[in-house]
Amino acid sequence: MKNVMFVCKRNSCRSQMAEGFTRHLGEGIVEVHSCGLEASRVHPTAIEVMQEAGLDISGQTSDPLSNFNAEDYDVVISLCGCGVNLPPEWVTQEIFEDWQLDDPDGQPLDTFRRVRDEVRDRVKTLLDRLQ
């Protein structure tokens, strides 16, 4: 079983969505966590649009990168272009990708929905590769 880490700047929207989709779609295939360069909160609108997709992420937490060890993860995905700010050990794991998705924070609900759907599609593609 592969261990996947999703990293974003604040671990509030995109990485939380990615964790939720991966936990649901990758059950039995991967273990998944998410974190941020800094911790904040799980954004209420991210929770809302994930509920629209049938997933409850309200129990997830926003955690700092410093709580985790890079060597515990096979796959590291940055969702915001923050890969350039990660310590080297995080970008040299078996798989590292930087998806550079738009930040929906402060944007209209339609932007949250579009980003949610982009995250879902990328997570599906990633899980297909890991099976």
Contact 97, 77 (CB under 8 A): yes
Q: What is the reported pLDDT for 82?
A: 79
66 pLDDT band (50/70/90 cuts)? very high
* Alpha-carbon distances, residue 30 vs 14, 23, 102 (angstroms): 19, 8, 25
As annotated, the active-site residues are 8, 80
Q: Does the structure show a pLDDT above 90 at 80?
A: no
Residue spans of the domains in the chain: they are 2-130
Could you tell me what percent of the chain has a pLDDT over 90? 95
pLDDT tens readout for residues 4-44? 999 999 999 999 999 999 999 999 999 999 999 999 999 99
- 2-130 has which fold? Rossmann fold (3.40.50)
Rounded to 5°, angle at Cα 37 from 65 and 103: 130
pTM: 0.96
